[in-house]
């Protein structure tokens, strides 16, 4: 029972951190901001493992879609009347593919760390960057299918301006995970059990 409660608390913590990461905004380009949100799905996969990391991001998505209006605050979106879409789309906005990519990235990173038992900094960073690539691919492909845009145009307009900042966040997430592994080595495996 205690392990179940502890697991639930940590999973909900990472869902909440992902939501809060979207509230930390730095102005970047006209009508664009950089947030810390992408940082937390990467760390969720690393610290919680495949299933619990992905579950934390699913909880983040479900709560945002059902009730709590944090997507209104963090998502880039067009008003529902202009798009002729539902209020859910207005809340989730044009980021839906990227948000689904959070689940996929947490799952991928958790899988790699669980199966490969990576401890060195460079492979950890490469894994985090792989999760970032998965988020971008999921976001771009879903946007391309829904709105029928050319992938190259989407990449240059929607992703390229953010690649450098998001790559730095992925590298920082890798360093944090690596340092935590060094500090908490005596407790190794406890978070991912």
Q: Would you kindly state where each structural domain of the chain is located, as residue ranges?
A: 2-187
Degrees to nearest 5, angle at CA 138 with 167 and 108 = 70
Tens digit of each residue's pLDDT (9 = 90 or more) over 78-112? 333 333 444 444 444 567 788 899 999 999 999 99
Confidence category of residue 2, pLDDT binned at 50, 70, 90: very low
* Angstrom distance (rounded) from CA 69 to CA 135: 22
* Angstrom distance (rounded) from CA 49 to CA 113: 7
> What residue ranges in 3-140 does DSSP mark as E strands?
25-27, 33-35
Confidence category of residue 66, pLDDT binned at 50, 70, 90: confident
Q: What is the pLDDT of residue 74?
A: 41
What are the tokens at 10? 């940590």
Burial (CB < 10 A; 0-12, 13-18, 19+), residue 46, is: buried
pTM for the whole thing?
Answer: 0.80
Which CATH number is correct for 2-187, 3.20.20.80, 1.10.1740.10, 1.10.490.10, 1.10.1760.20? 1.10.1760.20
- For all residues of the chain together, what is the average pLDDT? 79
């Amino acid at each position: 029972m205690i392990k179940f409660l502890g697991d639930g608390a940590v999973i909900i913590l990472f869902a909440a951190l992902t939501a809060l990461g979207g509230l930390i905004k730095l102005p970047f380009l006209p009508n664009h901001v950089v947030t810390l949100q992408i940082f937390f799905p990467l760390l969720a996969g690393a610290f919680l493992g495949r299933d619990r990391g992905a579950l934390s991001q699913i909880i983040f998505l479900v709560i945002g879609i059902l009730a709590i209006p944090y997507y209104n605050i963090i998502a880039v979106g067009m008003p529902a009347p202009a798009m002729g879409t539902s209020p859910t789309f207005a809340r989730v906005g044009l980021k839906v593919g990227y948000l689904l990519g959070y689940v996929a990235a947490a799952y991928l990173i958790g899988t790699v760390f669980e199966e490969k038992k990576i401890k060195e900094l460079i492979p950890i960073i490469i894994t985090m960057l792989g999760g970032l690539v998965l988020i971008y691919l999921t976001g771009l492909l879903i946007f391309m299918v829904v709105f029928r845009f050319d992938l190259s145009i989407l990449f240059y307009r929607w992703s390229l301006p953010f690649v450098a900042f998001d790559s730095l966040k992925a590298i920082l997430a890798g360093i944090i995970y690596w340092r935590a592994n060094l500090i908490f080595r005596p407790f190794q495996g406890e978070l991912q059990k």
